Each structure stands twice: as structure tokens, then as C-alpha cells.
Structure 1
Amino acid sequence: MKLNRLFNDAKPIEIKEFMTDSRLQLKNSLFFCLKGMVHDGHKFITQAVNNGAVAVVYSDDIDFIDGVEYIKVDNVIFELNRTAAIFFHNPSSKLNMIGVTGTNGKSTIAKTIKELYSLWKPCGYSGTISIEYGVNKEKPDFTTDETVPTLKMLRRMLKANMEACALEVSSQGLDQHRVDALKFDVTIFTNLTHDHLDYHGNLENYYQAKKRLFSLIKPKGCAIINIDDPYGARLFNEINSRKYSYSIYEEADYQAKDIVLSPLTTKFTLIVQEKTYQLETNFVSEFNLSNLLAIIAALHQSGFSIDDIASHLHQLPQVDGRMEVIQEGQNFNVIVDYAHTPDGFEKIYQFAESITSPNNKIISVFGSAGKRDSKKRPILGSISDKYCQMIINFEYFLFIVLL
């Protein structure tokens, strides 16, 4: 593509690739001087040129190199997203895009939407667990990757004849404008609780980052919001897009009532548009039922009937490490979950308590590895002590064994 198709006043130089990492060798590329948390792209222009950049988009004062086209802009990240959408032929406009954000539940919702959607039409998935489209499965670098890798991924999905994509959208990805080149048909807000405060500083900043997703809705798109969550109720009142609520406690567009929990199944009454449906699912726990309401709403707003959706809820595929029930013939229950926030711990322990007889024990194996948000660790320990008869510290996953 010629550079003057991206910037009107630029020379008609042939651009074959976008570069945001000066270490990559990309011939005939357009380099964007992005400012990150640690590094500033303006300091790496020489390296970028040596590795194939023929044009540079910048905002600060720099030294020029002969033979290179320079384009000064006010906001480099804005121009990256604007031009990348053009350069990569706006792939999100050709897909039914379903974006999921929230502290907890993103992976369960997005992955299950992909599995159910694919029963009728081909759908891809990208998130913490994997990137999947058709027979292809890739390992992700981030929950929400940067602009160029994300657009390239969507192009691969289109080439593989996908018609939709369920995408996990992280708060950091939103704050860093990684999905600004995309537009969404359906956006989902699950909840917002204590997490990532080492990055955002406070819950208000965290909320404002999440809220950015709902400014990226297509003209005929919609928002699906959990109004049981205080921040969800606030968001529902603050946005002007077409919107639908879901709840297990309040009247909502998608509501669950008469909930009966057990170790292996959940029975409930679904109310949608004044119609009731008696349903049973292998999704266990109250908070996973909340996730299921978001899934049902997203599929329904994507054009699938409630009856068709309901016919597949009794045997949903388990999502790895997300309320994953382990059955190997043992006479006790084992659940593996990715819970890593105070709210996640509280809810999974409450479910464990609800299905455990008074004479039995709750044994928890958990950890909080890495350097991120270490202030939540004593909170996690305190919550575990509140519910469990035995605690074993380990890493990454939370294991609950009910004896």
C-alpha cells in the first residue's frame, strides 16, 4: 500500500509492513514511535531504519536520517490505530465481533461463546487460554495483544472462513488502546473487583479503562451488562448504546430465578422478554450461572434463538482451569479454577461451602505467583482461612478438594 493512502501529504512510498518494535527486521515498513511504560520509540528510530523502516511516524523532536520519510502527528497511537485499520482492510468490519471485559469470567464467557457459536457458524476465539480458529490453535502472548498482531490475527481468521470472533479484552489492553482499530457487534461487561491495581492505581481508573470498550460498538451493535455488579449497574446507566442487562438477583433483560445448585449441575428458570425457560446446565456455581447468562444474551443478540441455545446447555464443554470439575471415580469433589482475586476466592469458596456437608472439609491449594498486585495476597490468605479447614500454598491455580 502506498504511504499517501494512509497520510494524504506523504510521498507515494510503498509500505509492506507496520513496525512498532524496532528490533524486528521488516523491509519497507512504516515505523511508529510509540511511548510505552518503559521505552520510547523515538529513541529507536535508527535501529528501526537499519531493520527496514522507510518511513517514520513521530510526535516529539527528533534527528532526521537522509532517505527516510517522516510524518509528524499529535498522537502516534491514534494514528497507528487509524492507519492500521486501513492497511489491514478493517477485518473487524467483516466479522461478528464479540468483546468480553471484566475482572472475572472473561475466559469462560468468550471460550464458551466460541464453542456454542461454532455449532451453527464458524467462530474464532482469542484470549488468555489460546487463539483458536477452525483447526488452528495458537499460544497467545497476551490476553489482549497489541494493535498490529490483533489485526493480523483477525485476518487469519477471515482467511480460515470464520464469521465471528469472541475476544477477551483486558483493562490494560483497553488503557493502551490496543483494540481501538476494532469495532464490536456485542460487548460484555462481567464485573469489576480488586485486581490490577498495581497498574491502574485505583478502582476508578480500572473502571474507566473497562468502560472504553463500550465506545467501540458498531452502529447496530449492543452492550450486555451484569447489573448485579455495582460497576455494571453504573455502566448500564452511563452508556447510550443499545444495551441489555443480565442478573440473578434483579429484574433484567436476561434473568435467572429459582436456582438449584449441586456439585455437577445447576437448574434454573430463565426469563427473557417475559418468556420462561426451565433449564439445566453442567455449569456449576452461582457466579458461573451469571457467566452463562452473558453467553446466552450474546448468542441471542447474535441471531440465535433461545430454544436452540438452551438445547446445548446441559453438556457444555469445560473450559480449562475455569470451574473445571475433575471426575476420576473418587468419592470427593475436585474443582480447578483460575480464581486469583479476592472476589473470585470468595465466590468459589461460597460455592464449595454450599455443596459440602458439615462433617466434610474444604481443602484449598493456591498461590499468588509473580510480582503483580502483591497487596491482594494477605486478603486471599484471609479469605481462604475463613472458609477452609486446610490451606496449602502452591502456584497459579486454585484447587479445592471437598472431603
Structure 2
Amino acid sequence: MNSSHQKVLTSLALLPVKEFKTHSQKVNPGDVFVCRQGLTWDSHLSAQDAVERGACGVIANRPLELPVTCMVTPSHSTSVSLINQYYAYPQDQIKHIGVTGTNGKTTVAYCLNQLLNLTGKSAYTGTLGSSFDDVYYPLDNTTPDAITLLNLFHAMEKCGVSHHVMEVSSHALSQDRVTHIDFDIVIITNIGSDHLDYHKHREDYIQAKLRLIDRLKPGGVAIVNLDDEQSLSVIERCRSRCEVITFSCVDEGADLYASKVLSTCSGSQFTLNYQGIEHHVVSSLPFRFNVENSLAIIASMLGLGMPINEVLALFESMLPAPGRSEVYPLSNGATVILDYAHNYDSLSNLYRNVLEHKTGKVVTVIGVTGERLADAADIGELCFEHSDQLVLTTDNPLGVNQDDLFKALTSKLPLSSKKPSACIEDRLLAIKLAIAELQSGDVLLLCGKGHEQYQYMTSNKNEAEPYLGDLDALRLSAENNGLQLVAGFAHYQESADLMVK
């Protein structure tokens, strides 16, 4: 080993290290602050702030005059590698399942982790944060940076975690945040279009998603959705590289094929055809698109070596992920669906399923994030077309003026229309007004935020403003309108509590 590298490891061994941090504002006493020269900010300039907050040491890429130990490495990549060595590669002691796709990542990852915890000790990392051993860790991104992941893996190893299910975003794949993880299983739910503000071109987005396959261990398993238009590209990338398990609601030649599908707003059931045998499956996940998610979950458990009968016995106890197609009937006969749908593909899918089952009017409450300003016009048009009443509101503006977001959302709406619509910046007020309009048979879609209890009003994600969350907003709004959540709330609250603490 390079002597300078050994010097860093020796210095770390002499420090009372608690964790490694890359944001000075998040440093606690006993942490080591890790500097990085980024595209827009050089965190070497924050080293003194980190020390004042209690950092016991600093890893930098150039010498710094500080009152604590300063260890110098030639690059941030080297810093990550040395931290990995310091922790003794904790990720290697865990089986990793990576989930990527335009839609369905959270449902598949969260629910799969839920089932794996019934037979062992599993961890989840993704949009809802990270959780294992009954502890919740909030995260800034769906897929954290490499150093945050190493902190988590170290904690997982100490807790005896055997499996880790994580959502892997296209950003994380293009930025190499998961290059130190060898996955046992990867799941590609689907590849549509999203985050083109970052990837610029759809082909770049597709290629970013496919990079997850390159992270498979030798002998690993890829779970592929044959009903997705990019399935051939996925299978070609897997060729001679790994085992492939396919699933489908259309193609009878898939390894797992769902037929006789019956989906409703409160659940679904289907016949699973696997290895020539039919199995009747009942799921608490509503709508047809969740049948695909169910197949992905079942296929993953089979990929881990579980027998089909054991898998299905566990599967029927599964609860939905918080904020993903959660159904809450109201005492006046209306129904509220709380869903994280926030891009064009996921919203189209949601409307397609809701319109199949509606008996009254459809009311939508939705906003767009500042980073989706370019998509806002199409999203606004889609929601207006499929809703009987549309209420536009705030959803993480990220420094973009909310009036500009409203203008974009309404730019393709007809100038003369009798269909009721409104722009209400206060999200709680928007939900209260939407609830007040509901009658028996109506469906209210609360889209975009799920269980998030914050609003990113500025571009700095370290300065989030508190928000009570759509679930509590729903409960409060129902009470204010003399209504009760008559079913569903208690059923889902227990599973959601951990993730919204």
C-alpha cells in the first residue's frame, strides 16, 4: 500500500471516529469531515466550520491549516476508498438487491425489504430514507453518496443485517455512487422518460439505468419486465453476464406470467403461472401497474433461492409502501388515494387505473418540483384532461418562483373551460378545499409528496421547511370538513409510522 495511504489509515485509527460526513452543517462531535471539490462548491472552504461543529479530523485533497488532524489524499475517490478500507468493506458481508426504473422503485424495494424482514434481518435504502433494526435514518437523496452509504453499511454490519434492498436512481448510476457495491440481484421495473433536465437526452437516461446491470456479481440475477418497451435492451445487456428471470402480464413465455388479473382501488388478485403450475395470488396493492410490481417482488425472492410456496405465503401479508397508492375511504363515500406520482409516466399510469374504477368525479391536487419546470406544461395538461376538478399547489419549488411553476403548469390549459381549477400555494389549504368538494363516489388524488414532511423552498436541500405531510393534511382536512377516514388509515398507519418519524 502507498505509504501516504497507510498514513491516513493510521491517523484514522488514532481518532475516536463516529461517522464520516461530507456536509459541514451535519457534522456532530466525533465525526470526520471529508472535503471535496465539486462542480459548484469546494467543501474545503467548509472545513473550519466542520471543526467548530466538533469534527475530530478532516480528510482533504490539499493541506489545510486546522486545529485537528488533517489527512491529505490525492482525490475524493481515494478518500472514499480509504474510508472503505477503514471500515473493512462492510458491504461485502451483505447481500444487495438494487432496484431501478422510472416508476415502481419505492414500492418494489420497500415491500421486498418488508418481506425479507419476516425471515431474517433486512435493510432498506431509498426515497423513504434508510431503515434497519427498527431505526430510521433520513436521507437527502434516493441513493446517497458513497460515504453516506459506507456509514450505513458499517452500521448494518454491526446490527447483523443480511440483506439490503436499495433504490438506485439514474443520477446515482451516472455519478458512480454505487461503484463499491456488488449486487446479488438487480431489478429493472421499467424505463420510461424522467430527469431529462439532468440527462438531457432519453438515450442517456436509458444507458444510465442499464449501468446497474454492470454492477452485478458473477452469477447474479437480473429481474426483467417483459412488458416494458426497453426489455430487449435490458436482456441484451445481461447476455452472458448473469441469470435472467422475466415477468409479464402479457407474454405467456415469461418465467412469471400473471393472467386473470382483477385490480381495484383497494387491492388486486391474479393467477401466477410459474414453471407450469398456477397459483392464485391476492395482493393489498391496488391497480394493474402494481401487479407488475408484485411480480418483480416475487421474482426477486425466487432469485434469492426461496421456494415458490414459501414466497407466496409471505407475500400475502405485505402492506403497501407509505405514500404509494395508499387508499383512504371517507365516511361520506368518497375515496382518497395518496400517491407519490409526480412525473408524466407515473401520472398517466395512475389515471389509467383510476378511471377504470371511478363512479363519481376525479379531483386532483398536484404540483411540480422546481427541477421539473420543463415538464410542467405537459403534466398540467395531462392532469386537467383526466380530472373533473384540478387544484395546483406547491411541491418542492427548489428556488423556482411558485408563480412561474403555476404559469408553466397552466400554459397548455384551454383559456375557456367550465371545468373548475385553481392555483393555491398553501398545500394544506389546497387539500382542505379539495376535500370540501367531495361527494359519494368521488376520488381525490393527492399526488407528488407522499409522506414527505418537508418542502424544499430553496435550492439548498439542507434548509428544508417543515410540512405536516399529505397523510396528516388529509386527516386534518377530513376532520375540518366533518369527515372520518373510515378504513385503511389504521391499516397503513403502522407501516408508515417508522418512515415518517
Aligned partner of 1:367 in structure 2 is: 367
> In 2, are the aligned partners of 1:226 and 1:233 still within 8 Å (CA)?
no
Is 2:346 the partner of 1:354?
no
Q: Corresponding residue for 2:266?
A: 264
The yes-or-no answer on 1:390 pairing with 2:389 is yes
Are 1:88 and 2:90 matched, yes or no?
no
- The structure carrying a bigger helix percent of its residues is 2
How far apart are 1:83 and its partner, in Å? 3.1
Offset at 1:147?
A: 1.0
Trace 1:142-161 onto structure 2 (pairs within 5 A).
142-161=141-160
**Alpha carbons of 1:90 and 1:353: their partners in 2 closer, same or farther (altered >3 Å)?**
same
Amino acid in the other structure paired with 1:96: K
Is the CA contact 1:97–1:164 (under 8 Å) kept in the aligned structure 2? yes
Letter in 2 for 1:332: A
Q: For residue 358 of structure 2, give the secondary structure of its aligned residue in structure 1.
A: coil
Shift of 1:348: 0.6
Aligned to 1:241: 242
- CA-to-aligned-CA distance 1:336-377 (integer Å, 9 cap, x gap): 1100111111111011111124xx222212111x31121111
Structure 1: how far apart are the matches of 2:103 and 2:325?
12
The offset of 1:323, in angstroms, is: 0.5
The alignment of Structure 1 onto Structure 2 pairs a total of residues equal to 389
Structure 1 residue 71 displacement after superposition: 4.3
Corresponding letter in the other structure for 1:326: Y
Aligned to 2:286: 284
Task: Measure the CA separation in 2 of the matches of 1:353 and 1:276.
Answer: 30
Using the alignment, how far apart are the partners of 1:317 and 1:55 within structure 2? 43
1:345 match: 347
Shift in Å at residue 333 of structure 1?
2.7
Whole-angstrom distance in 2 between the partners of 1:42 and 1:176: 20
Q: Which residue of 1 aligns with 2:380?
A: 381
Normalised by the length of structure 2, the TM-score is 0.70
Kept in 2, the 8 Å contact 1:109–1:294? The answer is yes
Change (3 A) 1:378 1:45: same
Q: Call closer, same or farther: CA 1:354–1:325 in 2, change over 3 Å.
A: same
Matches within 5 A, 1:88-237: 88-237=87-236
- Structure 1 position 7 matched with structure 2 position 8: no
CA apart distance, 1:290: 0.8
2:356 maps to a residue whose letter is S
Can you list the C-alpha shifts for 1:291-329, whole angstroms capped at 9, x where unaligned? Answer: 111111111112222212212444421221101011344
CA contact (8 A) 2:324 2:339 kept: yes
- Pairs within 5 Å for 1:55-74: 56=60, 58=61, 70-72=72-74
RMSD: 3.1
Contact kept, 8 Å, 2:173 with 2:208, in 1: the verdict is yes
Alpha carbons of structure 1 residues 83 and 207: separation in structure 2 relative to 1, 3 Å: farther
- Greater Cα offset, 153-162 or 305-314: 305-314
Per-residue CA distance 1:8-38 (angstroms, 9 max, x = gap): 7x68742256564567588795855x34231
**Alignment deviations for residues 130-151 of structure 1 (CA, whole Å, 9 cap, x no partner):** 3211221222222111111111
Please give the alpha-carbon distance, in whole angstroms, between the structure 1 residues aligned to 2:223 and 2:297.
10
* Distance in 1 between residues matched to 2:363 and 2:127, nearest whole Å: 27
Task: Report the CA distance between 1:161 and its aligned residue.
Answer: 2.1
Which stretch of structure 1 is more off in the superposition, 106-115 or 132-141? 132-141
Letter in 1 for 2:242: S
Partners of 1:48 and 1:325 in 2: CA distance: 44
Partner of 1:255: 257
User: Quick check: 1:4–1:11 contact (8 Å CA) kept in 2?
Assistant: no
How far, CA to CA, are the matches of 2:229 and 2:37 in structure 1? 34
SS at match of 1:199: helix
The amino acid that maps onto 1:241 is C
Question: How far off is 1:219 after superposition?
Answer: 2.0
Looking at structure 2, the residues matched to 25 and 309 of structure 1 have their Cα atoms a distance apart, in angstroms, of: 42
- Segments of structure 1 that go 5 or more residues without pairing to the other structure are none
SS of corresponding position for 2:212 = helix
Residues 100, 110 of structure 1: 8 Å contact kept: yes
Mapped partners of 2:155, 2:63: distance in 1: 37
Q: SS of 1:318's equivalent?
A: coil
Structure 2 gaps, min length 5:
396-426, 443-501
Match of 2:323 in 1: 321
